[in-house]
């Protein structure tokens, strides 16, 4: 397969592993890169030391190109970005922040940059800031998808942008890949599909649950981590949507975030005091979200925990190896293209 994305990153197929905290770890990243796609390491919940270790481990598992992501909204994210840059990771993916300095530093060593966005405004800003490609995340996606569905969002951005687009949100098979290419994208990124793979470290009970869900089994809410996010509709998720927070809870809960990210708590606490009410309540929700996502993802706990999952879980009913997922997606996309040719005659 040859698209602007395969050419840009030197990969065989235009299929990317989305960054998923605790899941897009070295083993899964390497499995995707070794199967011809591009694995992206998720560093969002890692300290700078853990990020360095994960990059080095990935390098022992694959000789193919891979990426690492950084969520600029999180405290301490800059330090992770600095490690990623120092280690000259071939592809750097940033989200939720301004990445002009990342583009400049990565280009200096010959790396490539992907910005993740959900709107045309942010897509144009990323292009201006020097990103080589963007991931556009539609409403169907697990986690922080935008307000508009991929079917409309992808062409609306493709019409306005020069750099290539990777479509995310609602893609899990070859029909999806073929459709994304027709809509104007040059590749797809998949989260939910790879989360439910043999190599994924997500709790086995969640893979089994994902195989049984239908397309109506998700919630889209800002009550889990303070940003609009799609998660599995479970007892834990419904409970969080009803949880009331007092204005000081951000300060109390920030200690845990600081600990997890290796960030000085005093610095974070002072920053929260200056954030104003709305943003500090968002931080409080983020702290709750971290705990809930960990319990849902790694402990399979759907009472206290929450699992991000996309609507697309409803059209996939098997846990497959990464290689099976990628080979099948490529084969089905080619078949879909041939079928379309016949229908359009």
Ligand X SMILES: Cc1cc2nc3c(=O)[nH]c(=O)nc-3n(C[C@H](O)[C@H](O)[C@H](O)COP(=O)(O)O)c2cc1C
Q: Does 44 bind ligand X (CB under 6 A)?
A: yes
Q: Smaller CB distance to ligand X: residue 150 or 254?
A: 150
Inter-residue contact 220 to 282 (CB < 8 Å)? no
Instruction: Give the nearer residue to ligand X in terms of CB position, either 112 or 203.
Output: 203
Cβ closer to ligand X: 277 or 285? 285
**Is residue 17 part of the contact set for ligand X (CB under 6 A)?**
no
> For helices 322-344 and 26-34, what crossing angle results, to 10°?
40
- 92 by DSSP, 3-state: which? strand
Element (H, E) at 127: helix 120-129
Closest CA to 273 of 297, 291, 248: 248
- Which runs of consecutive H residues, i.e. helices, occur in 94-171? 100-108, 120-129, 150-158
Span 52-111, contacts to ligand X by CB under 6 A:
71, 95
16, 29, 42, 333: which one contacts ligand X (CB under 6 A)? 42
Q: Binding string, 273-312, against ligand X, x = CB under 6 A?
A: ------------------------x---------xxxx-x
Which stretch, 49-57, 165-173, 237-245, 250-258, contacts ligand X (CB under 6 A)?
165-173
Residue in 130, 177, 186 with CA at minimum distance from that of residue 157: 186
DSSP code per residue over 73-86: TSTTHHHHHHHHHH
Instruction: Specify the stretch interacting with ligand X by CB under 6 A; choose among 6-14, 86-94, 189-197, 320-328.
Output: 189-197
Of the candidate residues 64, 122, 144, 253, the single one contacting ligand X (CB under 6 A)? 144
Q: Among residues 44, 321, 315, which one has the least CA distance to residue 174?
A: 315
- Which residue in this structure is represented by tokens 């939910």? 192
Distance, CA of 70 to CA of 72 (rounded, Å): 6
Site string for ligand X, 193-232 (x = CB under 6 A): x-x-------------------------------------
Q: What are phi and psi of 309, to 5 degrees?
A: -155, 145
For ligand X, the closer of residues 50 and 251 by Cβ is 50
Residues of this chain that interact with ligand X (CB under 6 A) are 18-21, 23, 42, 44, 71, 95, 137, 140-144, 168-171, 190-193, 195, 297, 307-310, 312
């Amino acid at each position: 397969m040859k698209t602007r994305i395969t050419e840009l990153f030197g990969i065989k197929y235009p299929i990317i592993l989305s960054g998923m905290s605790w899941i897009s770890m070295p083993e899964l990243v390497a499995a995707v890169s070794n199967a011809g796609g591009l694995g992206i390491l998720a560093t969002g919940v890692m300290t700078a030391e853990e990020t360095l270790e994960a990059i080095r481990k990935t390098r022992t598992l694959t000789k193919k190109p891979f990426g690492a992501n950084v969520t600029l909204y999180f405290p301490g994210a800059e330090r992770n970005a600095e490690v990623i840059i120092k280690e000259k990771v071939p592809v750097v993916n940033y989200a939720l922040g301004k990445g002009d300095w990342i583009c400049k530093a990565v280009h200096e060593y010959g790396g490539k940059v992907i910005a993740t966005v959900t709107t045309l405004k942010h897509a144009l800003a990323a292009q201006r800031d020097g990103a080589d490609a963007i991931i556009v995340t539609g409403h169907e996606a697990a986690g922080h998808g935008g307000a508009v569905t991929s079917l409309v969002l992808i062409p609306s951005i493709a019409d306005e942008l020069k750099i290539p687009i990777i479509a995310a949100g609602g893609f899990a098979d070859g029909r999806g890949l073929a459709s994304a290419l027709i809509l104007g994208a040059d590749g797809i990124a998949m989260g939910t599909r790879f989360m439910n793979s043999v190599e994924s470290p997500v709790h086995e009970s969640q893979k089994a649950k994902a195989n049984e869900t239908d397309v109506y089994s998700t919630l889209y809410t800002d009550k889990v981590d303070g940003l609009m996010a799609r998660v599995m509709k479970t007892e834990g998720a419904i409970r969080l949507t009803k949880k009331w927070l007092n204005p000081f809870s951000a300060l109390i809960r920030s200690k845990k975030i600081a600990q997890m990210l290796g960030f000085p708590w005093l610095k974070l606490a002072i920053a929260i005091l200056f954030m104003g009410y709305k943003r500090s309540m968002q931080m409080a929700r983020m702290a709750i979200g971290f705990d809930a996502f960990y319990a849902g993802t790694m402990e399979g706990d759907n009472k206290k925990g929450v699992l991000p999952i996309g609507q697309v879980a409803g059209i996939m009913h098997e846990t497959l190896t990464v290689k099976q997922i990628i080979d099948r997606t490529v084969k089905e996309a080619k078949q879909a293209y041939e079928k379309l040719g016949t229908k359009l005659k």
